[in-house]
Structure 1
Amino acid sequence: MGESSMTPSELKDRLAQRAETVATYLLPNGKREGHEWRAGDVHGASGKSLGVHLTGDKAGVWCDFSADQGGDLLDLWCAVKGCDLKTAMDDAKDWLGIRDVKLSEPKRQKTYKRPERPASVKRLQPSSPVMEYLRSRGLTDQTIQTFRVAEDGRDIVFPYLRGSELVFMKWIGIDRKDGKKKIRASAESEPCLFGWQAIPSTARTVTITEGEIDAMSASQAGYPALSVPFGGGEGEKQRWIEHEFDNLDRFDMIYLALDNDDQGRAATKEIIKRLGRERCSIVELPSKDWNEVLTGMIPDEVIERCYKNAKSLDPEKLVSVDAFRDDVQNEFANPVEVAGMPLPWDKARDLLRFRPTETTVWTGWNGHGKSQLLGFIGLTGMVKEGEKFCIASMEMPAKRTLSRMVRQAAGTNSPASGYIDGILDALTSKLWIYDQMGSANLDEMLAAFKYAAKRYGVGHFIVDSLSKCGLGEEDYDAQKRAIDRLTSFAHEMEVHIHLVAHPRKGMDEDRPPNKLDVRGGAALTDMADNVVTVWRNKPKEREAEKLHHGEEIEPKYQEQGDVRMIVSKQRATGQEGSVALWFDSMSNQYLGKPTHRPTPLVSWSSRQEAAA
């Protein structure tokens, strides 16, 4: 069965439900006595000194009195298998038949280089300026050695390791010119977290800080810690998340102790959104950062209280008006009319915006190009606005969806092979495919979407179509529940859902369907924030046939678009209207004027082609 990422607590609860089966598997030489499984030790010897509770609230709790060991079933798994927590979790999930949700990722992923240690980087010398500086920050020689810090002249060298592998390197000078740090990092290295080498293998909580010395300070005080690589801020500053997402699965609780300034708060918000509010808590330290706590000799009980009172960001049902003060100010400072991803045509740029937390229903007769137009709008959003999309197109194979988007990106029907690769490179890290043909399971799809939103920061999800979500055509209650779940997901993850929904059959294609024509009843369009109809101008197409016979077409059709995009509902602004578009069949691009011609959305040159 497919699951999104599981915390250790969730997994140990799942194991506890099968406590006796797990105990039998791990300790086959033991035997049941009453409500316990008895064995000699974690190595499988027969005996009675080790007991595992099999029933009740303590199911899964174990203790080996002769060795003074104990814990839950994950701890037992680690002890029996002789492995770390991450390995035990992976092994236990495999044993339980739990399959982590994964997306089909682009084949051409960005290639990172493992840094080579320059000859100038040396082991820290006992009396070097760098060592003296680190000691002046309150760090012990043992802490410095545990984190494997090195020196390069008057620069501190922080190695970012996973196991024994060097993933990333960072240099920070101990001298401050004009009060500013001198910082550099290894080129083209994978962004990751600093401090894995110092995290105990059984740790289930971790603190994330804004600097390497802060992580070392927290660790020295007894709080296992990791540091972000690029400091505070959001967006690209926190791109380490997608590379560390799975590695952080092993922690039940992630404490965030970043700097209490605008950049630190922005980073905290981004991390919570991506890693999940259910296991992230904000620690308000009594000083600016963890190193100031260490050098300030803050008593242990004060720090313990800070962690005990760490703020959970779980949604509250009853909130003071004051909690919305910043949101209301931001609403006035950033009007909804200019929020969200715009349409790609200048004349209609602000007719409709695709805002986070909203759902748009796209409808239109079969063969009128609603999926094609939606794909073109998404493509321009990726290329021009930097948006990230995930497409679940259950009606068309992924290769065909991508081929059409490549054609649109190139502005031509037959792009060269090198150009195709260049376009796919441009879409890498911007576009993901939920690879499913035919009927899809909505639970599994939303689990994958949640994973994509958290790990990769995907902000737009296309579901094409509602009829492929395992719902009966006349089962309006199920369709209502489905749209309710999709809109709830959009709000929870602060993303935009694009849902393709077909109109009822047997109607006149010479007129556009309206929002009341959508198959599934009024509930679909009532719950959506926006409703968009895509309509091919069939009367114009018939009139154009006259040209093949040497006849002139009526002047009124010359000014009409080939396609109309009709906004029949927009909850945020109330604005409705339509956009006339001209379709280029060779590139599959939609143009704003009849005089416009297809243009490449991704630049490419003959020099690049020759190099490819």
Structure 2
Amino acid sequence: MSINWEKYGIKAPYGRSGNRKVFCPQCHDQRHDKRDKSLSINLETGEFNCHYCGFSGCAAEKEPWEKEDRPWRNAAPIRREKPVYKKPAPRQDCSSISGKALEWFKGRGISEKTLTAMKVTEGLEWMPQKNGKANTVQFNYYHNGELVNTKFRTGDKCFKLCSGAELLPYGIDNIKGTKECIITEGEMDALSFFECGRTDVVSVPNGANSNLDYLDDYLEEYFDDKETIYIASDTDTKGVVLKEELIRRFGAERCRIIEYGDGCKDANEHLQKYGRESLLKCIADAPEIKIEGVFTLSDFEQSLDALFEHGLQKGVTIGHDNFDRLCSFETKRLCIITGVPSSGKSEFIDEIAERLNIRYGWRFAYFSPENAPLEYHASKLIEKFTGKQFDKEHLTYGEYKQVKQHLETNFFFISPKSDFRVDAILERAKFLVRRKGIKVLVIDPYNRLEDESEGKNETKYISRLLDKLTNFAQQHDVLVILMAHPTKMQKNKDGEPEIPTLYDISGSANFYNKADFGIVVHRNRLENTVEIYVKKVKFRHLGECGMALFKYNLNNGRYSPFVNGTEPVWDNSNHLQEEIKRREQEAFEASQFNWDDFQPSDEECPF
């Protein structure tokens, strides 16, 4: 789409964006006040309206290629397409639960009444770990009364989910329309609460896995109406990670954390040791999350214990060894990136985004007027994901459709028509944390945020703004990446700009002082290389200062490490297709696992 202002005689400012006021070509000559700019125009959409004479319309026009008759362009627009899942086949050999199995469940505090209500069954099933059929207990996953998945457990703790079936919370139908709900780490814990009369209980389907993408389809209908959500994860390290991710997605203001007391790892263990009334008391005593205020050590004791047990861990990395040794990222941090114009700052931010999304599934939200219009930005991301130039000669329609669907569910673009206040951007980002589970917010660049200093001291204003971004990162467990331009740099003897530091960013030294990560992107035009300087890493276990050298791949916008003067091997592979294959293999392997990975050992079950 292009915008033809000249067609309507409108003189629009060049290189600007957003809403602007200009002289109206229809009534300006007749106006007594020649200084009055009465025509409001939107430089992104092409809409215009004169507040004096009513002259209005839209200057946007389709490009010639948009007018061509192309069958694929007439198809329905890309939306998030829900996968076609396999349904569990009817099991003719299922029988009622045997006496031995009932006795085992009874020893764990679970009655036959609860097993019947939660549709637990028993029967033969082929188990890959045994390379043959074995007797199993079956935790059946229903949605709207229809069987959609089953988890099988053998007596010696081999587990399997139905391959290709939908991953969803166990017992999801239990919580539809309830004011409260309990969410546990495993089916046995869900059965334990059900046994106590709390039928409003669900379990995550895949143990203490912090990837909660499957929640996206169930948040609005099953969780948005909850006044209180009780989180009943285990007390080990993985359980703590799961708890924190659930809090982030549901919102701390309505979450309570169930604690089981000394010597109890989970709900079923507490039920066995102390009985139903005691487990119900754990729910009644569950404390609210302290969003802000004064804390004692007991408020973060589980996280401290996990840190003591495993030590400070390196953060997530982008997969380039020369950069990874200098910098690894984690959430709850503020990363500031700078560099002179045309150095590749935005491109390197996209490199970080594409690689963290592929490697860890992190979802991104962008406020990036620097990359406007949105379709231009999306085309650059598509090149990085596919390894191919964005045109129909290099990219097949199948690849194009596939990557569009991926972007639809993993990248979100904050692009208000007029409200560029930082609070407005953060409010939209907060929504995306809850609804879409974003892990990173990119603001590119700082100087496109609306200036709200109102003539106040610039240094203090920037300090408060950076505090606001840091507070948002910590409260919502995200990484905030802020790109900020430096002041005009002096040129060296070769006529090239000097390499800036974070202290050179226009406005305040606080850009260095308040950053957790500080990165400078510098294009060396003489050597045809890109120098990435890590100027600050606040916590030493996350990295150190230094420089990583790269070459820029013109085919797809990727960066390739340039080490020891050896020309890089250009990476033109399709990262997305490789990742899809890897995830399919991972999903297959995840459907076959040992119970010991998720539960403490106990006596062998009789089924």
What is the TM-score with the length of structure 1 in the denominator?
A: 0.65
Name which of 535, 546, 550 aligns with 1:581.
550
**Conserved? CA contact 1:380–1:601, under 8 Å:** no
Q: What is aligned with 1:209?
A: 184
Task: State the distance in 2 between where 1:497 and 1:569 align.
Answer: 15
**Counterparts in 2 of 1:462-473, with a 5 A limit?**
462-471=442-451
Name which of 490, 493, 505 aligns with 1:518.
505
> Offset at 1:498?
0.9
**CA gap 1:299/1:138 in 2 versus in 1, 3 angstroms:** closer
Task: State the distance in 2 between where 1:233 and 1:365 align.
Answer: 44
**Counterparts in 2 of 1:399-414, with a 5 A limit?**
399-413=375-389, 414=391
Report which structure shows greater RCO (CA 8 Å, sep ≥6). 2
Task: State the distance in 2 between where 1:216 and 1:245 align.
Answer: 22
Residue identity opposite 2:509 in structure 1: A
**Counterparts in 2 of 1:115-130, with a 5 A limit?**
115-120=87-92, 125=96
1:571 aligns with 2:546: no
Name which of 538, 546, 560 aligns with 1:591.
560
1:398 aligns with 2:378: no
Q: Could you say what secondary structure the match of 2:551 adopts?
A: strand
Task: State the distance in 1 between where 2:237 and 2:411 align.
Answer: 30
Task: State the distance in 1 between where 2:382 and 2:478 align.
Answer: 25
Name which of 275, 278, 294 aligns with 1:317.
294
Residue identity opposite 2:550 in structure 1: L
> Offset at 1:368?
2.8
1:176 aligns with 2:155: yes
CA deviation vs aligned residue, 1:93-142 (integer Å, no higher than 9, x gap): xxxxxxxxxxxx983545141625515276x7598877787677665665
**Conserved? CA contact 1:411–1:599, under 8 Å:** yes
Residue identity opposite 1:564 in structure 2: E
Name which of 323, 342, 348 aligns with 2:323.
348
**Conserved? CA contact 2:337–2:483, under 8 Å:** yes
Q: What is aligned with 1:218?
A: 193
Q: Could you say what secondary structure the match of 1:484 adopts?
A: helix
Q: Could you say what secondary structure the match of 2:498 adopts?
A: coil
Q: What is aligned with 1:196?
A: 172
Q: What is aligned with 2:483?
A: 500
> Offset at 1:234?
2.5
CA deviation vs aligned residue, 1:43-73 (integer Å, no higher than 9, x gap): xxxxxxxxxxxxxxxxxxxxxxxxxxxxxxx
**CA gap 1:248/1:332 in 2 versus in 1, 3 angstroms:** closer
Name which of 111, 120, 125 aligns with 2:83.
111
Task: State the distance in 2 between where 1:324 and 1:283 align.
Answer: 14
Q: What is aligned with 1:530?
A: 517
**CA gap 1:462/1:222 in 2 versus in 1, 3 angstroms:** same
Name which of 600, 603, 606 aligns with 2:572.
600
> Offset at 1:371?
0.5
> Offset at 1:400?
1.5
Q: What is aligned with 1:369?
A: 344
Task: State the distance in 2 between where 1:341 and 1:291 align.
Answer: 34
Task: State the distance in 2 between where 1:229 and 1:318 align.
Answer: 29
Residue identity opposite 1:118 in structure 2: P
Q: Could you say what secondary structure the match of 1:376 adopts?
A: helix
> Offset at 1:425?
5.9
1:230 aligns with 2:213: no
Task: State the distance in 1 between where 2:196 and 2:107 align.
Answer: 16
**Conserved? CA contact 2:380–2:557, under 8 Å:** yes
**Conserved? CA contact 1:567–1:578, under 8 Å:** yes
Q: What is aligned with 1:360?
A: 335
Q: What is aligned with 1:420?
A: 400
> Offset at 1:344?
4.8
CA deviation vs aligned residue, 1:342-376 (integer Å, no higher than 9, x gap): 35543333223323222121222333321112212
Name which of 143, 148, 151 aligns with 1:162.
143
Name which of 147, 153, 156 aligns with 2:118.
147
Residue identity opposite 1:242 in structure 2: D
Residue identity opposite 2:367 in structure 1: A
1:270 aligns with 2:245: yes
Task: State the distance in 1 between where 2:545 and 2:120 align.
Answer: 60
Higher mean displacement: 351-360 or 154-163: 154-163
CA deviation vs aligned residue, 1:157-215 (integer Å, no higher than 9, x gap): 4443333454x321435x513xx2x43333323322222333474x3222223333542
Q: What is aligned with 1:244?
A: 218
> Offset at 1:525?
3.2
**Conserved? CA contact 2:236–2:265, under 8 Å:** no
**Conserved? CA contact 2:530–2:552, under 8 Å:** yes
Q: Could you say what secondary structure the match of 2:535 adopts?
A: strand
**CA gap 1:268/1:439 in 2 versus in 1, 3 angstroms:** closer
1:255 aligns with 2:235: no
Residue identity opposite 1:115 in structure 2: K
**Conserved? CA contact 1:460–1:498, under 8 Å:** yes
**Conserved? CA contact 2:439–2:479, under 8 Å:** yes
**Conserved? CA contact 2:98–2:122, under 8 Å:** no
Residue identity opposite 2:500 in structure 1: P
Unaligned runs of 5+ in 2: 1-76, 125-134, 581-607
Task: State the distance in 2 between where 1:189 and 1:482 align.
Answer: 46
**CA gap 1:255/1:584 in 2 versus in 1, 3 angstroms:** closer
Higher mean displacement: 372-381 or 455-464: 455-464
Task: State the distance in 2 between where 1:161 and 1:523 align.
Answer: 53
Task: State the distance in 2 between where 1:263 and 1:385 align.
Answer: 16
Residue identity opposite 2:296 in structure 1: V
Task: State the distance in 1 between where 2:269 and 2:230 align.
Answer: 17
Unaligned runs of 5+ in 1: 1-104, 541-556
Task: State the distance in 1 between where 2:534 and 2:109 align.
Answer: 62
Q: Could you say what secondary structure the match of 2:224 adopts?
A: helix
1:382 aligns with 2:357: yes
Task: State the distance in 1 between where 2:282 and 2:303 align.
Answer: 25
**Conserved? CA contact 2:140–2:150, under 8 Å:** yes
**Conserved? CA contact 2:168–2:205, under 8 Å:** no
Residue identity opposite 1:147 in structure 2: M
Aligned residues: 472
Residue identity opposite 1:519 in structure 2: S
Task: State the distance in 2 between where 1:195 and 1:318 align.
Answer: 35
Q: What is aligned with 1:14?
A: none
What is the TM-score with the length of structure 2 in the denominator?
A: 0.66
Q: Could you say what secondary structure the match of 1:250 adopts?
A: coil
**Conserved? CA contact 1:208–1:257, under 8 Å:** yes
Q: Could you say what secondary structure the match of 1:377 adopts?
A: helix
**Conserved? CA contact 1:393–1:436, under 8 Å:** no
Task: State the distance in 2 between where 1:341 and 1:512 align.
Answer: 27
- Percent of aligned pairs sharing the same letter: 22
> Offset at 1:259?
4.2
> Offset at 1:486?
0.9
Q: What is aligned with 1:487?
A: 470
**Conserved? CA contact 1:439–1:468, under 8 Å:** no
**Conserved? CA contact 1:343–1:352, under 8 Å:** no
Task: State the distance in 2 between where 1:321 and 1:200 align.
Answer: 34
Q: Could you say what secondary structure the match of 1:215 adopts?
A: helix
Q: Could you say what secondary structure the match of 1:443 adopts?
A: helix
